[in-house]
């Protein structure tokens, strides 16, 4: 320990720049989290909350800060293509799976008390800017029974929703065109939208203040250990491997090995890709089963519509999956729609397809809310859904390929609102060996291996 200090001092005296801040970068840790988005940060926070100095937690994030310097200004940008910072930040309890409903109820509770959870010494208290506008799910006659069943489940778990008949819909939302509709489900509390950036940074700041270390670098490969001591008689040591650590390419181009005890994969849309780096992907064996997550590009359009429903509207979800919500006070709305499988755009860049708005989003929007006939697109962005192509739900738990690999990924467009609960669940899984707060065992990887999908009907 002291020797390195002297080396450091000598280097400094001789004017050598420290190669990649060598001294600051950890070379081993107890838990290595890949991905410092909202999920990775939430997991790091809960692990440190529980164990404080007892566990060394390192988060690897490839894109945490980019400082753009111009002669007269400089801008800090980061997380350029993480789903977290490009998401719409909706929180709702209107799901069809018990786990999803419980997770978002937990999140509402967490947000309400966020100052107790995520305040740090000497910093402003966190504020996620929650707008409690509620959600309104609309359905046509053929799917109305699902809406009724879901509402029953949601109520039984403690969510407050009301079912609205056509007359009620007309009465409550006079700006709505109810043609083709049959029933609506309206959330009465704990639903709305919040600011994803604030949440991400609150988690990150708190995790760091509790001692989690963030390393800026990209995971480019892995080191394996075979024949680990975890093997029992039933499994031959060829099948089960142990991850010794990750190869991390730092910002200055240097690659280091970072060894760890346990590894948690929370790399959002890139999780499937990182699985391939580990050699996962062959279908023939459960030990090499791929992580069924891939990026899917989704557009969000910001439109200007001064005559829109404004403050009298919840976040509205049309039967087609088209959604809109108010954004700010200037008569702007965010809207979008998930493309069908045939329309799925390429995912090599984040360019926005404005024709998609003209041909697929706008007609539906203007039909549902006639005020939108006269709207103008002001701006737009695209982001990657961390899409689970197996059943569009989170995968949380152990991967059979490696004794020490855990995953929390595949949230398919409803991940950011699950971060507090999932982070806690992963912590419980690693420390207690079982789920204590919310039982997420149905979301484990086993369902992929057994090929029994767990569908969520309310995917937007």
Partner 1 sequence: MYGLLSALYSKKNQVLDLHHYNPIRISGFLLNSWKTKTIKDAELLDQAYIPERHQILGNDLASAHFIVYRGGRVKFIGDNFWISKDNKAKTCDKLPNNYVKDYYLEAIDASGLRLRYEGLANLTNLSQLTELRLRGCPCVDDWFVDRISGEFCSTLEHLDLSDCHQVTENALSCIYRITNLKTLVLENIVKSRSFEYACLLLEDALPQLNIIGVKYMDVTKLSD
Ligand X SMILES: Cc1cc2nc3c(=O)[nH]c(=O)nc-3n(C[C@H](O)[C@H](O)[C@H](O)COP(=O)(O)OP(=O)(O)OC[C@H]3O[C@@H](n4cnc5c(N)ncnc54)[C@H](O)[C@@H]3O)c2cc1C
Number of Cα atoms under 13 Å in the Cβ half of residue 429: 25
Helices (H), 210-312: 271-277
Nearer to partner 1, 326 or 368 (CB): 326
Which residue in the set 95, 130, 411, 435 belongs to the binding site for ligand X (CB under 6 A)?
A: 411
Give just the sign of the alpha carbon dihedral 175, 180, 185, 190.
negative
- Asked if 415 interacts with ligand X (CB under 6 A), we say yes
Judged by CB under 8 A, the number of residues near partner 1 is: 33
- Span 104-123, contacts to partner 1 by CB under 8 A: 111-112, 116, 119, 121-122
Quickly count: other Cβ atoms within 10 Å of residue 278's Cβ.
Answer: 22
Q: Out of 206, 298, 368, 399, which residue is the one contacting ligand X (CB under 6 A)? A: 298
> Applying CB under 6 A, which of residues 29, 56, 84, 289 lies at the interface with ligand X?
84
Q: How far apart are CA 224 and CA 244, in angstroms?
A: 5
Only segment of 2-10, 86-94, 108-116, 201-209 that touches ligand X (CB under 6 A): 86-94
Give the shortest CB-301-to-ligand X separation in angstroms.
10
- Which region, judged by CB under 6 A, interacts with ligand X, from 137-145, 180-188, 267-275, 327-335? 267-275
Say whether residue 313 binds partner 1 (CB under 8 A). Answer: yes
Query: Does 158 interact with partner 1 (rule: CB under 8 A)?
Result: no
Between 159 and 394, name the residue whose CB sits nearer to partner 1. Answer: 159
- Contact status: 52 vs partner 1 (CB under 8 A): yes
Residues lying near partner 1 in the complex (CB under 8 A) are found at 50-54, 111-112, 116, 119, 121-122, 129-134, 160, 171-172, 188-190, 192, 309-314, 326, 329, 436
Site for ligand X, rule CB under 6 A? 34-40, 60-63, 79, 82-84, 86-90, 218-219, 266-270, 274, 298, 300, 383-386, 409, 411, 413-417
């Amino acid at each position: 320990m002291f020797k390195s200090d002297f080396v450091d001092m000598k280097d400094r005296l001789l004017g050598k720049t420290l190669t990649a801040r060598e001294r600051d970068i950890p070379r081993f840790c107890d838990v290595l989290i890949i991905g410092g988005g909202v999920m990775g940060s939430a997991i790091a926070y809960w692990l440190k909350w529980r164990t404080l100095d007892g566990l060394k937690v390192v988060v690897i994030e490839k894109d945490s800060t980019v400082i753009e310097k111009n002669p007269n200004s400089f801008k800090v940008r980061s997380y350029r293509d993480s789903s977290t910072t490009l998401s719409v930040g909706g929180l709702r309890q209107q799901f069809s799976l018990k786990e999803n409903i419980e997770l978002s109820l937990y999140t509402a509770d967490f947000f309400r008390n966020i100052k107790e959870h995520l305040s740090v010494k000497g910093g402003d208290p966190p504020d996620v800017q929650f707008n409690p506008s509620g959600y309104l799910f609309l359905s046509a006659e053929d799917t109305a029974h699902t809406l009724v069943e879901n509402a029953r489940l949601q109520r039984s778990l403690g969510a407050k929703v009301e079912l609205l008949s056509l007359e009620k819909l007309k009465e409550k939302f006079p700006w709505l065109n109810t043609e083709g509709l049959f029933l609506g489900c309206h959330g009465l509390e704990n639903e709305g939208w919040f600011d994803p950036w604030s949440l991400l940074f609150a988690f990150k700041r708190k995790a760091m203040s509790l001692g989690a270390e963030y390393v800026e670098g990209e995971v480019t490969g892995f080191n394996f250990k075979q024949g680990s001591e975890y093997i029992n008689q039933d499994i031959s040591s060829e099948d089960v491997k142990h991850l010794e650590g990750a190869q991390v390419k730092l910002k200055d181009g240097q690659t280091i090995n970072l060894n760890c005890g346990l590894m948690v994969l929370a790399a959002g849309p890139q999780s499937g890709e990182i699985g391939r780096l580990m050699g996962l992907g062959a279908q023939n064996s459960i030990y090499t089963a791929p992580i069924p997550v891939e990026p899917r590009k989704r557009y969000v359009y910001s439109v200007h519509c001064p005559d829109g429903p404004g403050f009298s509207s919840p976040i509205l979800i049309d039967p087609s999956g088209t959604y809109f919500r108010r954004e700010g006070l200037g008569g702007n709305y965010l809207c979008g729609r998930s493309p069908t499988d045939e329309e799925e755009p390429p995912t090599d860049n984040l360019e926005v397809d404005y024709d998609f708005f003209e041909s697929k989003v706008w007609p539906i929007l203007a039909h549902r809310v006639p005020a939108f006939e006269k709207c103008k697109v002001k701006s737009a962005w695209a982001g990657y859904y961390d899409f689970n192509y197996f059943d569009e739900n989170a995968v949380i738990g152990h991967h059979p390929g490696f004794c020490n690999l855990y995953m929390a990924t595949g949230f398919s467009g409803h991940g950011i609102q699950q971060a507090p609960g999932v982070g806690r669940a992963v912590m419980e899984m690693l420390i207690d060996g079982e789920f204590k707060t919310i039982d997420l065992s149905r979301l484990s990887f086993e369902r992929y291996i057994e090929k029994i999908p767990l569908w969520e009907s309310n995917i937007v």
